[in-house]
Amino acid sequence: MKPVAILIMLLALTAPVAAQTTDPADDETPLARWQADHSVVMNADEVDLATFQWIARPVVVFADTAADPRFSEQMELIASNPGALAERDVVIVTDTDPAAGSMVREKLHPRGFSLVLIAKDGTVVLRRPFPQHVRELSRAIDKLPMREQEARDRRTGG
């Protein structure tokens, strides 16, 4: 057998094995990851906010560095009550690298630490320069007309 034929045969035999060894989670979209686990935290450089429109309410946490104490405090506050946020269809997105120039940062133009709550229709409904408790985020969400309708539907079983 010629060396080229052997090489082609070896490549053909190993290709399916290589395809099977890849992690299926690598191929998941941010939306699929969030739908599988509402407590997952997305990095802004992997997210297009339009993907979540009409599906989830993004809460975007910006800082100039992950070492910012306000960023750490905000992430601790979010981790303290993830169930309340999951119940309200919240997806957490973080951006701690201004130099990366994510599409999320370009769209929302934060300065330093900033927390931004976006409604399911894509409008910014809350922007704060300091950390927020989950109960404050929940109150802001619960006042939104779409959330009020969701609560009514849930009560009536619709």
Question: Which tokens hold the place of 92?
Answer: 């957490």
- What residue numbers bound the domain in which 57 lies? 28-156
Max CA separation in the chain (angstroms): 74
Beta bridge partners of 60: 93, 116
The enclosing domain of 136 has a CATH number of 3.40.30.10
Query: How many domains is the chain partitioned into structurally?
Result: 1
Phi, psi of 53 (to 5 degrees): -60, 135
- Domain presence at residue 90: yes
Which residue spans within 67-150 are E strands per DSSP?
A: 90-95, 114-118, 124-128
Question: Which tokens hold the place of 19?
Answer: 């395809």
- Domain presence at residue 96: yes
- Domain presence at residue 125: yes
Beta bridge partners of 5: none
Non-local CB neighbours of 104 within 8 Å, separated by 6+ positions = 44, 47, 49, 60, 93, 95
Q: Which pLDDT score, from 0 to 100, does residue 98 have?
A: 96
pTM: 0.79
- Domain presence at residue 55: yes
pLDDT in tens, 59-107: 999 999 999 999 999 999 999 999 999 999 999 999 999 999 999 999 9
What one-letter code names the amino acid at 75? M
Across 14-40, average pLDDT: 67
pLDDT band at 27 (very low <50, low <70, confident <90, very high): low
Nearest to 56 by CA among 153, 149, 146: 146
- Domain presence at residue 65: yes
- Domain presence at residue 21: no
pLDDT band at 2 (very low <50, low <70, confident <90, very high): low
Q: Is the pLDDT of residue 50 over 90?
A: yes
- Domain presence at residue 137: yes
Across 104-131, average pLDDT: 97
> Do 63 and 131 form a contact (C-beta atoms < 8 A)?
no
